[in-house]
Amino acid sequence: MKAIYALYPNAVTIREEVDGSIEVTDNNGNEIEINMTQVNAWVDPEAYKYARQAAYPPMSEQLDMQYWDSVNNTTTWEDAIAKVKADNPKPE
């Protein structure tokens, strides 16, 4: 659904039919013909954000890392965050 709205900005309603087809209409009720190959190939430019959110350690764990980093003069927290960012880079 998100791909259709991104590729067809005039789309207002998206309805999946019983036969599996998708009907997309604009604000006047006119049907918009969509290219499912483009829709299926679309990559969410914000997907990296969702991947990072899932990969970050819980906040309580991050705070514990920060505390122990300050006590032990280490960079555990910075290393953990840098790894998440490196593993899930922001698209250019």
pLDDT of residue 1: 85
Block mean pLDDT (10 aa), the chain, length 92: 93 92 93 93 93 97 98 98 97 82
pLDDT of residue 20: 85
pLDDT of residue 22: 92
Distance CA 18, CA 58 (A): 41
- pTM of the predicted model as reported, rounded to 2 decimal places: 0.64
DSSP annotation of 20 reads S
pLDDT of residue 82: 98
